[in-house]
Amino acid sequence: MSNDTQDKRAGDESLAPQQTRIMDRWSYLLAWLGGCVSIGTFAMGSSLVGQLNMLQAVVAIAIGCFVIGVALAINGAAGHKYGIPFMVQARGAFGFAGTRLPGLVRAVPAVVWYGFQSWIGAGALNAVSAALLGWDNLVAWFVIFQLLQIALSVYGFKGIKWLENVGSVFIIGALGYMFYAVITKFGGEIDANITSIEGTWGMPFWGATMLFLGIYSTMMLNVSDYSRELHKDVKPGVLTTIYSMSILPATLFMGLIGLMVSGATGTADPIKVFSSAVDNTPLLVTTLLFIAFAQVTTNVLNNVVPPAYVLMDLFKLSFKKSAVLVGLLAFATFPWVLVKDESAAGLQMFVQTYSAFLGPIFAVLVVDYYLLRRRELNIAQYYDPNGAFRGVNWAGFAAVVVGAAVALSFSSISWYASLLPAGLTYYWLMKHWAPARRFLDGQESAAAAEPAGMTRVARP
């Protein structure tokens, strides 16, 4: 039986090279489609009010999604080919001990978004409860909703595949309806405040492409966590199309809805917006349930798996324990503060800031895999804590510092600005700095390494 068709038990996740691939190209597309309906995208759209008109916003989102698709395909190639997750992929560039840096930089935004989106979902459920049952208790719904997501998340990619594939059709239909409802209710205000303004094609426009890209800059870092589940026969060009076409519809709808409703009403809270935009109670309930459901599909894919793998690597926990811990940590993110109308600008700054660190790490991983190792990995070294990758690769750290310093100097386009300085710094240090040479010397047998040898790697 081929590796692509073996069964995989729910919640049976490991950092070992993935031999069982449970997603074909259609399942993978639907998983990304369902997992990218982020209320954070709504908030980024809200932050553009007064800066861009409708056409400029559409083009900015499209550019951002194209860059995302290319970046996901590039950085996910190692995971797709060798079945390794992000935390293992990073060992060659940062060392076994050094992976704490990329791991924590990836995990913190995920936990923050987890809490933020869970509060939004709980708010939607609370609104439904208040309308139908007369019970209004947002805190109680937040606790209930978070516990439900924790229970779903422990099923791992087996559960994610089912949840995302079933939910994606409902999500697209609901997004289309929400878009129509907003235009119908606020058409005049949208035309006056957004469509008819001059806007700009200058730096704010390119900053907007970075904002929508920045929402996914976290996933661009750990995309190997997902691509290792995809059947091996899917080609890179097809993968780029899958990523772009799955992310674009959700991002376009949510970003434009956020821009339109905030421009028309002055509020960035989607629950308040749709409670006032939809006069029909059954339709309102359907819309609010969609908002809640969309948070589940996004959180379990994007905000549970990455930090769970980080905890598995750092503390040697099982996936189920890690998923539960991530869900509990989300309680401590104070999401009730993040959803306030005045927090939209703060969320924009949050995305720009963490993108300034995620961009350099992305650049380091890409240079490491394509230019230094020429897409040939000695997998045994990636699982040997006493081998060539032991300790910390300070070349990776230095490159991240250089890239982040440049990025923070150009905060509106931080992810873009970080790539070249970080990539060049890392390449030069790995080629010319003696302490970094050890991390390349471990590759001498990479070309001879047999893929079948991956099955002999001990499970960490």
For range 217-234, the mean pLDDT: 92
Q: Which CATH superfamily is domain 25-445 in?
A: Hydantoin permease (1.10.4160.10)
* Rounded-to-integer distance, Cα 233 and Cα 454, Å: 18
* Under 8 Å between Cβ of 3 and 21: yes
How far from 225 is each of 100, 306, 309, 459, CA to CA, in Å? 16, 7, 8, 16
For residue 95, give the DSSP letter.
-
Say which residues have a Cβ less than 8 Å from residue 51's Cβ, sequence separation at least 6: 199, 200, 204, 208
Question: Using 50, 70 and 90 to split pLDDT, how confident is the model at 446?
Answer: very low
Strand partners, 230: 23
Most confident segment among 113-117, 187-191, 226-230, 341-345: 226-230
Q: How confident is the model at residue 160 (pLDDT cuts 50, 70, 90)?
A: low
Mean pLDDT over 330-345 rounds to 72
Q: In the structure, what pLDDT confidence band is assigned to residue 432 with cuts at 50, 70 and 90? A: very high
Q: What is the mean pLDDT of residues 47-56?
A: 87
Per-residue confidence (pLDDT) for residue 12, from 0 to 100 = 66
Q: Does 383 score more than 90 pLDDT?
A: yes
Radius of gyration of the chain (CA): 22
The answer to whether residues 260 and 186 touch, using CB atoms and an 8 Å cutoff, is yes
Whether pLDDT at 266 is above 80:
no
The domains of the chain are located at 25-445
pLDDT at 17: 94
What pLDDT, on the 0 to 100 scale, is given for residue 8? 56
pLDDT single digits (tens) 391-428: 999 999 999 999 999 999 997 888 999 999 999 999 99
Q: Containing H/E element for 141?
A: helix 138-153
Task: Report the residue count for the chain.
Answer: 460
Backbone angles phi, psi at 385, to 5 degrees: -65, -15
| Residue range 9-31, pLDDT digits in tens | 655 678 999 988 988 998 888 88
Q: What is the mean pLDDT of residues 143-157?
A: 88
Look at 81-95, 119-133, 208-222, 327-341 and tell me which has the smallest mean pLDDT. Answer: 327-341
pLDDT in tens, 119-129: 888 988 998 99
**What pLDDT score does 6 carry?**
47
- Other Cβ atoms within 10 Å of 235 Cβ, number: 10
Residue 115 DSSP label: H
Out of 192-206, 288-302, 318-332, give the one with best mean pLDDT.
318-332
Q: Is the pLDDT of residue 1 over 70?
A: no
